[in-house]
Amino acid sequence: MAIDATFWVAVSFIIFFGALIYLKIPQKISKMLDKMISDIKNEIDESEKLRTEASTLLDSSQKKLDSAQSVSNEILENAKNDADRLIIEMNDKFHKSSEIKKNLTEDKISQMKEAALKEIKDASIKIAVDSVKKVITTSVDKSKLDAVFQKNLDETKEELKKINS
**pLDDT tens, residue by residue, 79-98:** 999 999 999 999 999 999 99
The total number of structural domains in the chain stands at 1
Q: What is the pLDDT of residue 139?
A: 57
Question: Are the CB atoms for 132 and 138 separated by under 8 Å?
Answer: no
Q: What is the pLDDT of residue 1?
A: 53
138 DSSP 8-state letter? T
- 114-150 residue pLDDT tens: 888 888 888 888 888 887 777 666 655 666 767 777 8
Domain that holds residue 84: 5-164
Cα dist. 110→5, 113, 161 in Å?
143, 5, 21
What is the pTM for the complete model shown? 0.41
Euclidean distance between CA atoms 160 and 164, whole angstroms: 6
Question: Which DSSP helix (H) or strand (E) runs through 17?
Answer: helix 5-22
Average pLDDT over residues 54-80: 93
